[in-house]
């Protein structure tokens, strides 16, 4: 007895390799050598005598396509969510099954939606543009806020008045500001903090305020000098000032002031 001939499967453009491996196990596969959509003439010549054709959205499946394939065609598998390129009634009249891939974009669409939500709520687009401009206090603050919000469960509402080129002193002020925000995220118990900074010719001032549980600065033991050394110490060494105001149940405010003439 003669073994039945293997199904002839035409793939009109390269698809992911795992899918091609499955098709090779089901029949003789012809894959278009072109890294582009085939012309109508090329497509119709390629599908002649095919049992199955794997199409993409750019392949028009109509009566002319079905005539070119011939009576052996049993299935057209469209690698796409949509099937606007397929004349479904024409396939139905000829007993040709038409399929699509309805769930292939679900995860990707959800990922993009979540990314857009995060970009909007965390102002990442604004921060990215400001960071790319580079070298300014406003850009430094925007990047800092984006980093803190990404690393901690804290939403920061920043207000920046004025701007200045970043030098070593402003970079240190930025590091102290970031430390104040991180302390708020770790220790305040609050989910949000306000950041206000103002640049004048004489100084740069920063206020970081949370409405968390607060604390009594006088009761902080000497072995917990993180806030004192990392925030206050940096500013004092640069000729600036740092003041921490807090009370149990009233939240915490950190005020950092750096004279512009400090060197």
CATH class of the domain comprising 118-259: alpha beta
pTM of the predicted protein model:
0.49
**Residue extents of the structural domains in the chain:** 7-104, 118-259
pLDDT per position as a tens digit, 136-189: 899 899 889 999 998 888 999 999 999 998 888 888 899 889 989 998 998 888
Nearby residues of 12 by Cβ (< 8 Å), 6 or more positions away:
32, 37, 38, 43, 46, 53, 54, 55, 56, 59
CATH class of the domain comprising 7-104: alpha beta
pLDDT per position as a tens digit, 189-232: 889 999 999 999 999 999 999 999 988 877 776 555 555 566 66
pLDDT per position as a tens digit, 67-86: 999 999 999 999 999 999 99
- Cα gap 169→239, rounded to integer Å: 10
Question: Cβ of 247: how many Cβ atoms within 10 Å?
Answer: 11
> Token digits for 69?
């394939």
Q: In angstroms, how far is the first alpha carbon of the chain from the final one?
A: 96
- Cα gap 26→107, rounded to integer Å: 28
Q: Which residue spans within the chain are E strands per DSSP?
A: 7-11, 27-31, 52-55, 75-78, 97-99, 155-161, 192-199, 203-210, 241-246, 252-259
Candidate from 2-6, 19-23, 85-89, 239-243 with smallest mean pLDDT: 2-6
Q: What does the DSSP 8-state code read for residue 46?
A: H
């Amino acid at each position: 007895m003669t073994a039945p001939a293997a199904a002839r499967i035409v793939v009109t453009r390269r698809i992911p390799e795992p899918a091609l491996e499955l098709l090779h196990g089901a029949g003789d596969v012809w894959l278009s050598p072109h890294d582009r959509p085939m012309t109508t003439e090329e497509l119709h010549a390629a599908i002649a005598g095919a049992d199955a054709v794997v199409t993409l959205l750019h392949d028009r499946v109509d009566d002319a396509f079905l005539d070119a394939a011939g009576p052996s065609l049993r299935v057209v598998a469209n690698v796409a969510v949509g099937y606007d390129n397929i004349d479904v009634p024409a396939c139905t009249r000829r007993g040709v099954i038409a399929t699509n891939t309805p769930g292939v974009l679900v995860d990707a669409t959800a990922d993009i939606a979540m990314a857009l939500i995060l970009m909007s709520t965390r102002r990442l687009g604004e921060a990215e543009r400001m960071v790319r401009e580079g070298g300014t206090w406003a850009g430094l603050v925007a990047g800092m806020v984006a980093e803190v919000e990404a690393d901690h469960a804290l939403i920061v509402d920043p207000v920046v008045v004025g701007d200045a080129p970043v030098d070593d002193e402003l970079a240190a002020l930025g590091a102290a500001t970031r430390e104040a925000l991180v302390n708020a995220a770790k220790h305040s118990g609050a989910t949000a903090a306000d950041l206000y900074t103002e640049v004048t010719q004489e100084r740069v001032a920063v206020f970081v305020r949370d409405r968390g549980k607060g604390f009594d600065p006088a009761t902080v033991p000497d072995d917990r000098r993180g806030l004192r050394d990392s925030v206050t110490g940096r500013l004092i060494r640069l000729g600036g000032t740092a003041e921490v105001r807090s009370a149990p149940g009233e939240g915490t405010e950190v005020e950092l002031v750096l004279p512009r003439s400090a060197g």
